[in-house]
A and B are shown apart, each in its own frame.
Chain A
Amino acid sequence: GESVGLHLPTLSVQEGDNSIINCAYSNSASDYFIWYKQESGKGPQFIIDIRSNMDKRQGQRVTVLLNKTVKHLSLQIAATQPGDSAVYFCAENIHDASGGGADGLTFGKGTHLIIQP
């Protein structure tokens, strides 16, 4: 079936540099996308979301970009800090307007962001 996937399982960046984590999705019916951060031993935490009627959304030090033409989602983290070290998951939400229950979040496998001093 269609699913969300990640380009890289591990991304290593220098502290202070910007990080870009990529995600590809295949379901054109997806209308809502979310990034979660999961630190070791903890549950995922919501970072930022974006709806399909937007191309870009900014938060504090994070930006999410959505390219619907190529079905690509990215998370940019500015001035990466040691506390950013975690696994980052993208998730897509396929809204089933019929109410048949097919909607809901589908998560990718995640990218492990490693911060080098």
Chain B
Amino acid sequence: GAGVSQSPSNKVTEKGKDVELRCDPISGHTALYWYRQSLGQGLEFLIYFQGNSAPDKSGLPSDRFSAERTGGSVSTLTIQRTQQEDSAVYLCASSLFGRNTGELFFGEGSRLTVL
């Protein structure tokens, strides 16, 4: 498809398990972002990738969270030893240029529920 694709759309896991969330950005977009959206809340920045530069990890809430972007395209967000407070919708976005252009194209998100 032409948009940002995320998988899985829904993930239910048990506390303590690891989860991986995948994002396939729009082809040609150099910038990729992960955000977290808790119920009824705004978007919380997690991590930003731009080309081959070192990612901006300043938004990751703990060392249980990590993300990779392989080949400048697909990204995986990994949450280790999940906790109930990790339950949220994880949104991925991409943009053609860097982070100051503003127009981000979002995927539909991966809803994570930790029991």
Residues in A lying within 8 Å of B, measured CB to CB: 4, 32, 34, 41-46, 49, 89, 91, 93, 95, 101-110
Contact = CB atoms under 8 A, between A and B. Distances in A.
Contacts of B104: 44, 46, 105
A89 B103 CA distance: 13
B42 A108 contact: yes
A109 B41 contact: yes
Contacts of B43: 44, 89, 91, 107
Interface residues on B, range: 20 to 34
Given A105-B45, A109-B42, A44 B91 contact: yes
Shortest beta-carbon contacts, A-B, top 3: A43-B106, A107-B43, A109-B42
A61 to B, nearest CB: 18
A43 B99 contact: no
A104 B48 CA distance: 9
A99 to B, nearest CB: 10
Nearest to B56: A101
B45 A104 contact: yes
A93 B108 contact: no
> A-side binding surface: helix, strand, loop or mixed?
strand
18 contacts: A34-B103, A41-B108, A42-B109, A43-B93, A43-B107, A43-B108, A43-B109, A44-B91, A44-B104, A44-B106, A46-B102, A49-B103, A93-B100, A93-B102, A103-B99, A103-B100, A104-B48, A110-B42
Nearest to B59: A104
Nearest to A31: B100
A45 B100 CA distance: 17
Contacts of A95: 100
A102 B45 CA distance: 12
A110 B91 CA distance: 16
Contacts of A106: 45
Nearest to A106: B45
B25 to A, nearest CB: 12
